[in-house]
Amino acid sequence: MPTQTTVASTGNTVVAEAMRQCAPDVVAAYPITPQTTIVEEFAKFVAQGKVHTEYVCTESEHSAMSACIGASAAGARVMTATASQGLALMWEELYIASGMRLPIVMANANRALSAPINIHCDHSDIMGARDAGWIVLFAETAQEAYDNTIMATRIAEDPEVLLPAMSCLDGFITTHSIDRVQVMDDESVSEFVGDYEPQNALLDVDNPVSHGNFAGLGGPYFEFKKAQRLAIDRSKAVIGRVGEAYSELSGRSFGFIETDMMDDAEVAIVVIGSSAGNARHVAKQMRAEGVKAGLVKVRCFRPFPAAELAEALKGAKAVAVLDRSETFGAEGGPLYTETRSALYDLETRVPIVNYVYGLGGSDVRLELMRSVYTDLSDIATGAAEPSGLQYLGAR
Amino acid sequence: MATLRELTHREDRLEGGHRLCAGCGASIAVRQILLGAGTDPAIASCATGCLEVSTTIYPYSSWKTPFIHNAFENSAATMSGVEAAFKGLKSAGKIPADKKMKFVAFGGDGGTYDIGLQSLSGAMERGHDMVYVCYDNGAYMNTGIQRSSATPKGAWATTAEVGAAQQGKLEARKDLTSIIAAHNVPYVAQGSISHWKDLTSKAEKAFAIEGPAFINVLATCPRGWRSAYNKSVEHAGLGVKTGYWPLFEVESGVWKLSAPSKALVKKGREPVEEFLKVQGRFRHLLKPENAELLAEIQADVDRHWEYVLGRCGE
C-alpha cells in the first residue's frame, strides 16, 4: 500500500505535484490565470532538479499545444496546463491532438471566457471544447484534482484509448483555496501510471513514419473520425478499470458520477465541480427537514455517463441540472441537454429543469442551492410546473 | 562542404513521385536542404501548404525520414516539441546520451512570414537545436495565389488584383531574414534553389551549428509566378542576379555576403525588370503607364541591396 501524506495545499500545487510524480518527458506550457501556479510550481521542480522533464515555456497556448503534439508524436510522455482564453486559443490544436491520437494530459483551471473579461470560475472554457475528442474529468476538490491528474495519465496512455485527457478544476475555488489533500509517495504513483510505451514514435528513426497526413480527396478522413469515436467509447471501460485500480490503491473512490442520498431521492441536483459541496450540504439540511433530497456529481464529462445518469435519476420526481456555462441559443446548458437526452428512454418521464449559475465566479451561496431544492419540491408535489432555463443568482 | 560526388551518393530523403507541380521550387529546396543534414537521422515537419498536401497523401508519404504535419502556423512550435522530446527522453535515459539527430521545420512564406511568424519567433528565441527553412515563393500558392507579406510590391495576386484602380500589391515585402537575424540566433541565411552549392553548404552549416538556425530560400512557383515550368531554376537565379534576393549569411551576428552575390558587387546587378518580365504576375508593370511604379520597385531593390551590403561590410 502507498504511503500517503496529508498536506494543506491548493489544487494547483497538488496538480503540479501529480505532474511531477507522473514524470513527463516534456511539459510545454504558457502561463494564464488561474492556472499560473501550476506552471510556476513545475518550474521550481525543474530548477531544483526534481524532474527530468524538458520544460518548454512557449510564447502562446497555441504553440504550447503545438509543441505538446510534436513531443507526443515524437514518443514522449507529455503534460501541460491552461485555462480560459488559453484553452480557446488552443482550440484548433485540441482537435489535432485527439485526431492524431496523442495521449497528452492537460490540467484546465476552469475560468470564464471573454467578453467582458473575467478571471473567475465558470465552465465556459471547457464546455466550448467538450467535443474536441478529449477525455474530460472534473474535480470537486483539490484531492480530486490530484487524483484525476494521475488517473488521466494512465487512461490516456492505455493502448486501447490513446486519446488526450483533461483534468479540470475550478478556477480560484479549487485552484487557489487551501484544502486538505492526501498525497501518495512517488514510487506508488510511478508504478500506477507505468512506463509510457509510444506507438509510431517520430524518434524511432529506424522505422520512419509520417504523422498528420492529408486524408482528403475521398480519403479515409471519415473512417479516422469513426475510429476516434470508437476509441472514446472504448475509453469508458478503461476509465472504469483505472478508477477501480486507483480506488484500491488510494482508498478514495472514483465513479463517472458520484451520488449522495440518491437511493430514495425525490428531488435531485446534477452538478459538476466545486459547487457539489454546497449542494451536498444543503441536501443534507433538506433531508433533516424531511425533504428527500439527493445529489449527483458528474466527475467524467467525456465520455458522457448517460447510462449512469439515467440509472441514478430514474426514480426522482424532479431533477435540476446546474450548468456553469451558457450555451447561447441552445435548449439549455450542455450538462442539461445531455442529461435530459440520457433520460429520454426511461419508462417514466422525469421532470427536469435547468439553471445556469455562477458565471464569471458569481457566488453560489447556500440559499441559492436551497431555492433550487424548494423549486424542485414544488414541481415534485405538483404545486409548480417545470419552467424553462433559469438564471440562479443573476441580478 | 561535401563534394558533389558525395552528395550524389547521399540518399534523397524526399522521394520522387510526389504530386507537386512540374518545376516546383519547394521540392528542390527540400532535397537540397536535406542533403545538408549529412548522414545523421533527421526529423522533418511541414506547415500546411502545397509541400505538405502533395507529399503526404494518405496512405502514401514521400518522406523517407520521420515526418510530422500539424497545422498551418506551427511548424516551428511543433518541431520545437519534437526536439524537446529528444532532450527529455535523453534525460530519462531512454535515448543514448551520444545519439545525434537533426530537426528541420519547413514552411512556405504564408506559413512563415504571416500566420507562423509568432511560432517561429518563439522557437528561435527558445534556442531549440533545429533548422527552420522557409521556401518563399511570394504568395499563398496552395490556396490560389493570394498575397502574403512576402509578395513583392506590384505583383498580381488574387487578393491584390490588377485593375483601373490598383496595380497589384501596393505594399513592399517584409524582410523576414533580418527579423530572424535580430533574434541573435547562431545562424541565419538567405539562399536560392538556383544556387545549389551555396544552398547545400548553408544547410550543412545550419545543421552543424548547435541551436536554432534559419534559412530563407527563394523558391519558384510556376503556377503563381505565371512562369515557364521548365525554367524554374533559371528564374530563381534572376532573383539573385538582379539583387532582388541577395545571398548572405549571418553567423553569430556577423553578416557575410555569399559568393554569388558578392560577385555582383563588382560585376553589377541586372535590372529588376529581368526578374519581373519572365513572370506573368508582373506583366502589367511593363506597360508604359506603370513606368513610375517599375522605377519605384527598382529603387526599393537598390535600397535593400545597399542595406544588405552595409550589414555585410561591403
Q: Looking at the partner chain, which of A53, A73, A215 has a beta carbon nearest the beta carbon of B58?
A: A215
Interface contact flag, B61 A205, Cβ < 8 Å:
no
A369 and A334 housed in the same domain: yes
B107 contacts in A (CB within 8 Å)? Answer: none
pLDDT tens track for B108-137: 999 999 999 999 999 999 999 999 999 999
Chosen for mutation from A54, A98, A209 (greatest number of chain B CBs closer than 10 Å) is: A54
Interface contact flag, A215 B41, Cβ < 8 Å:
no
Phi, psi for B257 (deg, rounded to 5) = -75, 135
pLDDT above 90: percentage of residues in chain B: 96
Q: pLDDT-based confidence at A314, cuts 50/70/90?
A: very high
Q: Looking at the partner chain, which of A54, A203, A217 has a beta carbon nearest the beta carbon of B91?
A: A54
Q: At which of A220, A250, A280 does a domain end? A: A250
Phi, psi for B266 (deg, rounded to 5) = -85, -45
Chosen for mutation from B12, B40, B78 (greatest number of chain A CBs closer than 10 Å) is: B78
Q: Looking at the partner chain, which of A67, A205, A210 has a beta carbon nearest the beta carbon of B77?
A: A67
Interface contact flag, B68 A92, Cβ < 8 Å:
no
Interface contact flag, A62 B74, Cβ < 8 Å:
yes
Q: Looking at the partner chain, which of A74, A204, A214 has a beta carbon nearest the beta carbon of B82?
A: A74
Q: How many domains does chain A have?
A: 2
Q: Looking at the partner chain, which of B41, B85, B92 has a beta carbon nearest the beta carbon of A205?
A: B41
B114 CA: distance to closest CA in chain A (Å): 15
Q: Radius of gyration over alpha carbons of chain A, in Å?
A: 21
CATH of the domain at A48: 3.40.50.970
Mean pLDDT, range A112-138, rounded to an integer: 98
pLDDT tens track for A257-278: 999 999 999 999 999 999 999 9
Q: Looking at the partner chain, which of A203, A213, A217 has a beta carbon nearest the beta carbon of B85?
A: A203
Q: What is the mean pLDDT of chain A?
A: 97
A205 and A278 housed in the same domain: no
How far, in Å, are B160, B286, B305, B310 from residue B272 at the CA level? 20, 11, 12, 20
Mean pLDDT, range A104-109, rounded to an integer: 98
Which residue in A has a C-alpha nearest to residue B81's C-alpha?
A: A67
Give the pLDDT of residue B180: 98
A265 and A243 housed in the same domain: no
Does the CB of B115 have a partner CB in chain A at under 8 Å?
Answer: no
Q: What is the mean pLDDT of chain B?
A: 97
Residue contacts between A and B (CB atoms, under 8 Å): 169
Which residue in A has a C-alpha nearest to residue B93's C-alpha?
A: A52
A314 and A261 housed in the same domain: yes
Interface contact flag, B126 A204, Cβ < 8 Å:
no
Interface contact flag, A70 B45, Cβ < 8 Å:
yes
E strands, B153-253, are 162-163, 166-167, 187-192, 213-218, 248-251
Give the pLDDT of residue B4: 85
Mean pLDDT, range A340-347, rounded to an integer: 97
Give the pLDDT of residue A219: 78
Question: What is the DSSP secondary-structure string of A50-66?
Answer: ----EEEE-SSHHHHHH
A37 CA: distance to closest CA in chain B (Å): 21
A238 and A331 housed in the same domain: no
A200 CA: distance to closest CA in chain B (Å): 10
Q: Looking at the partner chain, which of B59, B70, B94 has a beta carbon nearest the beta carbon of A96?
A: B70
A203 and A351 housed in the same domain: no
B293 CA: distance to closest CA in chain A (Å): 39
Count the neighbouring beta carbons within 10 Å of the beta carbon of residue A205: 15
> Which residues have a Cβ under 8 Å from the Cβ of A3 and sit 6 or more positions away?
A184, A185, A188
A268 and A377 housed in the same domain: yes
Q: pLDDT-based confidence at A356, cuts 50/70/90?
A: very high
B92 contacts in A (CB within 8 Å)? Answer: 23, 25, 52
**Prediction ipTM score:** 0.97
A202 and A114 housed in the same domain: yes
B117 contacts in A (CB within 8 Å)? Answer: none
Interface contact flag, A93 B58, Cβ < 8 Å:
no
Q: What is the DSSP letter of A305?
A: -
Does the CB of B174 have a partner CB in chain A at under 8 Å?
Answer: no
Interface contact flag, A70 B70, Cβ < 8 Å:
yes
Chosen for mutation from A213, A221, A222 (greatest number of chain B CBs closer than 10 Å) is: A213
Q: At which of A234, A250, A266 does a domain end? A: A250
Mean pLDDT, range A180-186, rounded to an integer: 98
pLDDT tens track for B164-197: 999 999 999 999 999 999 999 999 999 999 999 9
pLDDT above 90 (res A190): yes
B82 contacts in A (CB within 8 Å)? Answer: 70-71, 73-74, 202-203
Q: Are A120 and A172 in contact (CB under 8 A)?
A: yes
Phi, psi for B193 (deg, rounded to 5) = -65, -15
Residues in chain A: 395
pLDDT above 90 (res A387): no
Give the pLDDT of residue A105: 98
Does the CB of B74 have a partner CB in chain A at under 8 Å?
Answer: yes
Mean pLDDT, range B282-302, rounded to an integer: 98
Q: Looking at the partner chain, which of A23, A28, A217 has a beta carbon nearest the beta carbon of B84?
A: A28
Does the CB of B43 have a partner CB in chain A at under 8 Å?
Answer: yes
pLDDT above 90 (res A218): no
B103 contacts in A (CB within 8 Å)? Answer: none
Q: Looking at the partner chain, which of A56, A217, A219 has a beta carbon nearest the beta carbon of B84?
A: A56
- Residue B167's DSSP bridge partners are B162
A281 and A157 housed in the same domain: no
Interface contact flag, B89 A76, Cβ < 8 Å:
yes
B256 vs A217, higher pLDDT: B256
A146 and A236 housed in the same domain: yes
pLDDT above 90 (res A22): yes
Q: At which of A205, A232, A250 does a domain end? A: A250
A360 alpha-carbon distance from chain centroid: 18
pTM for the structure as a whole: 0.98
pLDDT tens track for B5-61: 888 888 899 999 999 999 999 999 999 999 999 999 999 999 999 999 999 999 999
Does the CB of B95 have a partner CB in chain A at under 8 Å?
Answer: yes
pLDDT tens track for B131-160: 999 999 999 999 999 999 999 999 999 999
The C-alpha angle with vertex A121 and arms to A115 and A124, in degrees rounded to 5, equals 55
> Which residues have a Cβ under 8 Å from the Cβ of A220 and sit 6 or more positions away?
B58
Give the pLDDT of residue A280: 98
CATH of the domain at A261: 3.40.50.920
Mean pLDDT, range A239-248, rounded to an integer: 98
Give the range of the structural domain holding residue A386, as residue numbers without chain letter.
257-392
A78 contacts in B (CB within 8 Å)? Answer: 81, 85
Give the pLDDT of residue A14: 98
Helix B75-91, helix A61-74: angle, nearest 10: 50
Cell numbers of B32, please?
Answer: 537540397
Q: Are B147 and B155 in contact (CB under 8 A)?
A: yes
pLDDT above 80 (res B1): no
H helix intervals, chain A: 11-22, 36-47, 61-74, 84-99, 124-127, 142-157, 186-193, 221-250, 276-288, 306-313, 334-342, 366-381
E strands, chain B, are 42-46, 67-69, 102-108, 131-136, 162-163, 166-167, 187-192, 213-218, 248-251, 254-257
Mean pLDDT, range A229-251, rounded to an integer: 98
A276 and A386 housed in the same domain: yes
A174 alpha-carbon distance from chain centroid: 13
A294 and A201 housed in the same domain: no
B43 contacts in A (CB within 8 Å)? Answer: 74, 202-203, 205
Interface contact flag, B67 A211, Cβ < 8 Å:
yes
Q: Are A340 and A352 in contact (CB under 8 A)?
A: yes
B125 contacts in A (CB within 8 Å)? Answer: 59
Does the CB of B78 have a partner CB in chain A at under 8 Å?
Answer: yes
Which residue in B has a C-alpha nearest to residue A74's C-alpha?
A: B82
Which residue in B has a C-alpha nearest to residue A77's C-alpha?
A: B85
In angstroms, the CA A52 to CA A87 distance is 26
Give the pLDDT of residue A250: 98
Best CA proximity match to A62, nearest among A32, A38, A20: A32
Does the CB of B64 have a partner CB in chain A at under 8 Å?
Answer: yes
- Residue B250's DSSP bridge partners are B188, B255
